[in-house]
């Protein structure tokens, strides 16, 4: 049955809905907004393909349940309306194949759908007990082995190989600073690196302590109100300061594109630039370009912390993981014979 309608005094006016949507947009990271847009396009196309109707707000439980059921089964050898809809989505470029999507993908799309309801101050059908039970059963049925976001973590040994490929040219100085900051400040995500501005780097303590502070205005787990300041010291701090001084950067984007002539441009790096830079450095280091991905910096920081015996809580203060269970996975990936706890007796 559909959710009960809100009483008239609780319903938002059109102006209120627009103001609330604008508030969500201002307070939501750009990457999340892009994911919401993709998910809304997918959900809208799916409902049109299955029911021949547009989305309604609030959505009815029957539609939400069908969405869950259609996305927790492999449709490759299952002719019918669900397969027809999936093939239409593939033709539109919104779906890749007929096999069952990863549970995490379904969870993200449902989370987006729920967010759209919250923006309109409406109850989500996914709160119904039947929907919760169907999601739990579907997640269990579609479970698959966890696949790392990077083929390999960029630990200290691999990082040193990448750094050795960085010379003293403008490009080399930039790439060295990016790799050092990305690893040394806790394993930063691509967007966190490319969104840094010179104003986010505090150098007040560099002369006395060799320490700089990196402010992250927006991350996956924090916002502008609680923007964390993370310490960066030693070689990593010197690499960042060397880049700033080489270009005399006093404002604007911290890391910038380099022209073919070796001149640093004034604009910020593109969101995908870190992947391109890493592939270039891997090739120069004599490794396959797909040997690791930018997430390897994040995985490598936590892996190296585990190898060095750093407490998980201490590593999480830099990585900014909210979930100890998620961060613990990197510690669990360390080979048992390399675990520092095996050397307690020398």
- Within-domain flag for 109: yes
Same domain, 165 and 129: no
Same domain, 82 and 172: no
Q: For residues 52 and 47, what is the distance between their CA atoms, to the nearest angstrom?
A: 7
**CATH code, domain carrying 182:** 1.10.443.10
* pLDDT tens per residue across span 42-65: 999 999 999 999 999 899 999 999
Same domain, 169 and 274: yes
- Per DSSP, what are the bridge partners of residue 87? none
DSSP states of 290-331: TS--THHHHHHHHHHHHHTT--HHHHHHHH--S-HHHHHHHH
* pLDDT tens per residue across span 317-343: 999 888 887 788 777 666 555 666 666
CA distances in angstroms from 34 to 29, 30, 112, 183, 204, listed in the order given? 9, 6, 11, 26, 36
Domain end marker among 141, 164, 191: 141
Domain end marker among 87, 110, 141: 141
CB atoms near residue 86 (< 10 Å):
24
- Per DSSP, what are the bridge partners of residue 211? 233
**CATH code, domain carrying 113:** 1.10.150
pLDDT band of residue 33 (cuts 50, 70, 90) is: confident
Three-class DSSP category at 65: helix
| Domain total in the chain | 2
pLDDT band of residue 25 (cuts 50, 70, 90) is: low
**Nearest CA among 247, 179, 237, 174 for reference residue 206:** 237
Same domain, 111 and 166: no
Same domain, 241 and 272: yes
- Within-domain flag for 1: no
* pLDDT tens per residue across span 214-260: 999 876 666 666 678 999 999 999 999 999 999 999 999 999 999 99
Same domain, 204 and 327: yes
Same domain, 169 and 308: yes
- Within-domain flag for 3: no
- Within-domain flag for 221: yes
* pLDDT tens per residue across span 135-160: 888 777 776 666 566 678 999 999 99
**Nearest CA among 49, 262, 65 for reference residue 173:** 262
- What range defines the domain where residue 124 resides? 8-141
Cis peptide bond upstream of 58, omega within 30: yes
Same domain, 61 and 31: yes
- Within-domain flag for 127: yes
Same domain, 161 and 305: yes
Q: For residues 219 and 30, what is the distance between their CA atoms, to the nearest angstrom?
A: 10
Confidence (pTM)? 0.64
């Amino acid at each position: 049955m559909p959710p009960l309608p809100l009483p008239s005094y609780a319903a938002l006016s059109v102006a209120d809905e627009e103001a609330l949507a604008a508030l969500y947009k201002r307070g939501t990271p750009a990457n999340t907004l892009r994911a919401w847009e993709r998910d809304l396009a997918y959900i809208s196309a799916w409902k049109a393909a299955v029911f021949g109707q547009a989305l309604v707000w609030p959505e009815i439980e029957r539609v939400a349940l069908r969405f869950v059921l259609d996305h927790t089964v492999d449709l490759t050898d299952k002719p019918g309306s669900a397969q027809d809809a999936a093939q239409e989505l593939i033709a539109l470029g919104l779906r890749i194949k007929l096999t069952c999507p990863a549970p995490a993908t379904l969870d993200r799309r449902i989370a987006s759908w729920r967010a759209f309801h919250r923006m309109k101050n409406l109850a989500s059908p996914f709160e119904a007990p039947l929907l919760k039970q169907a999601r739990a059963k579907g997640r269990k049925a579609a479970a698959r082995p966890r696949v790392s976001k990077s083929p390999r973590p960029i630990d200290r040994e691999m990082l040193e190989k990448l750094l050795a490929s960085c010379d003293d040219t403008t490009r080399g100085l930039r790439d060295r600073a990016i790799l050092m900051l990305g690893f040394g400040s806790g394993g930063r995500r691509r967007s966190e690196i490319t969104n840094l501005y010179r104003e986010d780097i505090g150098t007040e303590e560099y002369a006395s302590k060799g320490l700089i502070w990196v402010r992250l205005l927006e991350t996956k787990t924090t916002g502008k109100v609680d923007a964390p300041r993370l310490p960066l010291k030693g070689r990593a701090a010197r690499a960042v300061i060397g880049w700033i001084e080489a270009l005399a950067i006093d404002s604007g984007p911290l890391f910038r594109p380099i022209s073919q002539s070796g001149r640093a441009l004034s604009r910020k790096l593109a969101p995908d630039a870190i992947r391109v830079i890493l592939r270039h450095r891997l090739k120069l280091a004599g490794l396959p370009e797909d040997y690791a991905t930018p997430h390897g910096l994040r995985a490598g920081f936590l892996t190296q912390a585990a190898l060095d015996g750093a407490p998980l809580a201490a590593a999480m203060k830099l990585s900014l993981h909210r979930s100890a269970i998620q961060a613990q996975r990197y510690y669990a990936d360390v080979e048992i014979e390399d675990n520092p706890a095996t050397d307690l007796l020398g």
